[in-house]
Amino acid sequence: MPVLSKNQKRLRAVNKEIRQSKPKDGSWNMAKIERLEKERKIIMNLIHEEIQKEKEKETFKNMTGDQAIEFFKVEPMEKQVNHSIPNTPHTRRLRKKVLINLHDHMLSEMMNQQLRIRMNIMTQLKENLDKEKDNEVCNKDSEYDEVTEINEVNK
């Protein structure tokens, strides 16, 4: 008879408890049975992992040197850049600060633009007034010249 591992012994004990919890006559304790079946699944997974490890050990023992190097050779994987921002309290606070600063910056830029526009309008108005004044002075001079010519002609 082969020697059983610790997990295999536990599995046999759990299976026995499950059989005993299901009597032919009487009521079944379903809560206990469900708990034992969950435990059985866990133990079966552990046994399956043990068997896999044993198989890997056997295959490694039977490998040649080149096969072992090839088995443990790590292939370079392409790095996947994840640009997503995790939704944690810290990042939410940072995001809030960034949005507030961005909003303030946009408001200040808008105000600067409005001031530049107003300054441009003011300079254009001043230039127009200066041109009008020059035109008025020229007109007055021309009117004065006309009046003097008329006076000379009348004399």
pLDDT digits (tens, 9 = 90+) for 94-133: 999 999 999 999 999 999 999 999 999 999 999 988 888 8
In this structure, is residue 69 part of a structural domain? no
In this structure, is residue 85 part of a structural domain? no
Band the pLDDT of 13: cuts 50, 70, 90: very high
In this structure, is residue 70 part of a structural domain? no
Structural domains of the chain, count: 2
pLDDT digits (tens, 9 = 90+) for 52-92: 999 988 888 888 878 877 877 777 777 888 888 888 999 99
One-letter amino acid of 88: T
User: What local confidence, expressed as pLDDT, does residue 121 receive?
Assistant: 94
User: What local confidence, expressed as pLDDT, does residue 106 receive?
Assistant: 95
User: What local confidence, expressed as pLDDT, does residue 107 receive?
Assistant: 95
| pLDDT over 80 (residue 12) | yes
In this structure, is residue 40 part of a structural domain? yes
In this structure, is residue 13 part of a structural domain? yes
In this structure, is residue 141 part of a structural domain? yes
Q: Which residue has the higher pLDDT, 13 or 67?
A: 13
Residue range of the domain that includes 30: 6-63
